[in-house]
Amino acid sequence: MDNVTFNIRKAEIADAAEIAKVHVDSWKTTYDNIVPNEYLASLSYESREQMWTNAIPHGDMYVAENNSGQIVGFAKGGKERSGNYKGYDGELYAIYILQEYQGIGMGKALVKSIIEDLVDIGIHSMLVLVLEDNNSRKFYESLGGRKIDTVAVEIGGKKFSELVYGWKNIEGTCARNIHDNSINLNKNSL
């Protein structure tokens, strides 16, 4: 993709349908040949739209728009949900980008937005869970994420290993790896 520009902004409830489309389409490309095909076929835009309509108001969520204003990626984060990881107070709950928009810095920009929001509420550490068979785990490794645990998860009747990556200092380790060893943690820079 030559000359692709994108915009990162806060998600709004009106974005739920487009977010649902990105979510379902990303699952179908990312998890093809990983999770059961029956499960992928069962994913619907309608059920994900309802899920995101309910979720957008709770926690921090950003969308990435292409130069036509279409939502092509999103990320959601907030406080760590499980309580199982002492010293990791924040969590990147989800990040999905349409396959054709991956590898152009959009993921880093979305993570940066989540980090800024976490820091604004006094959270300085973060974790994310990713299926071991998902090549996107390399993205988290490139941001300095360290594997801190492996947990079992079941999707579509099949068991998987999910890796837990953590950053003890998102303003340091993670931020340095987002943008040429520096990041301006200022919302106005978006």
DSSP-assigned letter for residue 179 = T
At residue 177, the pLDDT reads 64
Can you give the CATH number for the domain in which 155 is found? 3.40.630.30
Predicted confidence band of residue 180 (pLDDT cuts 50, 70, 90): very low
Domain count, the chain: 1
**Residue 187 forms part of a structural domain:** no
Q: How many residues does the chain have?
A: 190
Residue 175: pLDDT band by 50, 70, 90 thresholds? low
- Cα–Cα distance between 138 and 156 in angstroms, integer? 24
Determine the Cα angle at 74 with ends 159 and 83, to 5°. Answer: 55
Question: What is the DSSP-derived secondary structure letter of residue 34?
Answer: T
Is 76 inside a domain boundary? yes
| 190 assigned to some structural domain | no
CA 97/CA 72 separation, integer angstroms:
6
- Percent helix, strand, coil in the chain, to 5, is 35, 30, 35
* pLDDT of amino acid 171: 84
Q: What is the mean pLDDT of the chain?
A: 90
Strand pairing category for 60-66 and 71-79? antiparallel
**pTM attached to this predicted model:** 0.89
Q: Has residue 143 been placed in a domain?
A: yes
* Domain annotation covers residue 55: yes
Q: Measured between alpha carbons, how far is 73 from 76 in angstroms, rounded to an integer?
A: 11
Structure tokens at 125: 């550490």
Cβ–Cβ under 8 Å, residues 108 and 136: no
Domain membership flag for residue 186: no
pLDDT, tens digit (0-9, with 9 covering 90-100), for 78-133: 999 999 999 999 999 999 999 999 999 999 999 999 999 999 999 999 999 999 99
The one-letter code for the residue type at 51 is M
Domain interval for residue 169: 6-179
Cβ(94)–Cβ(56) below 8 Å: no
CA atoms within 13 A of residue 35's CA, in its CB half-sphere: 22
Please report whether residue 47 resides in a domain.
yes
Is residue 188 domain-resident?
A: no
User: How many C-beta atoms lie closer than 10 Å to residue 128's C-beta?
Assistant: 25
Q: Comparing C-alpha atoms, which of 121, 160, 149, 144 is closest to residue 31?
A: 160
What are the tens digits of pLDDT across the range 23-77?
999 999 999 999 999 999 999 999 999 999 999 998 799 999 999 999 999 999 9
What is the rounded distance in angstroms from the CA atom of residue 154 to the CA atom of residue 174?
29
Position 184 confidence tier, pLDDT thresholds 50, 70, 90: very low
